Amino acid sequence: MRRVEFTDEAERELEEILQYFSTNYPGVYSAFEMRLRNIIARIATWPESAPRVIERPEIRRVTFIRYPYRLFYRILDDRIEILHVHHSARDEDQ
């Protein structure tokens, strides 16, 4: 299992998403957070399980089922680096 780290930008994006849910949909907050934890556990265990971004094959993308978000990451020698957590309406080629 590899260590998973968030870039500063990904942390900022995630904080904004969690704040949005906390303020507007508090009943969804816990379920979203659990889904995020499951995604992190999956990519830590099976880092190559998510599809590559076509335009940037070194980056992989996980879709949050039930939520309109995608998590973008790359596999490094000793860790997984989460680059972005975006609403699915945003451009995918990060």
- Report residues of the chain scoring pLDDT below 70: 90-94
Instruction: Check residue 7 and give its pLDDT.
Output: 98
Quick: pLDDT tens for 16-36: 999 999 999 999 999 999 999
Task: Check residue 91 and give its pLDDT.
Answer: 52
Compute, in degrees rounded to 10, the torsion defined by CA atoms 38, 15, 70, 46: -30
Domain borders along the chain are 3-87
Q: What is the CATH number of domain 3-87?
A: 3.30.2310.20
Sign of CA dihedral 53, 56, 60, 63: negative
